[in-house]
Amino acid sequence: MKKIAISTWCTDDYAKYLRPDRLKKMVNYFHPDIDFFIVDSKLTEEIKNQNPWMLSEKVRYPDWMMAVSCLPFVEDYDMVMHMDGDTFCIESLDKVNISKFIPQITKENIGKLMPLRVA
């Protein structure tokens, strides 16, 4: 079985509205075998500091954070997917063919996924 993780990006100022902790509980109810990570304000700052291209004035880092929020976990999992913090998981994800809808960051394609160069 593949080792799978889901991450959601939700900084502390939005957590009280989006309640990513509820999303984590919903996903874990149907999929206790999937690890779920919430990328909060502290981890967001760490990611930005590790990826200096995100600090450029020409890059709006919120546009990039969905995919980039998966990076801290990609080495430890066969598949990592991003799930928006305002998502509801009301049944098993087993029937969803994720690869048709969401590009996944995996160990095999991480080297191919490069950020756009900023002039």
Q: Quick: pLDDT tens for 61-88.
A: 666 677 778 888 888 988 888 888 888 8
Q: Which domain holds residue 59?
A: 4-101
**pLDDT tier for residue 116 given thresholds of 50, 70 and 90:** very low
Contacts of 98 (CB under 8 A, 6+ apart): 81, 104
| 23 inside domain | yes
Q: Quick: pLDDT tens for 2-41.
A: 788 999 988 899 888 989 999 999 999 999 999 999 999 8
| 113 inside domain | no
Partners of 81 in the β-ladder: 6
Residue 22 confidence (pLDDT) = 92
| 27 inside domain | yes
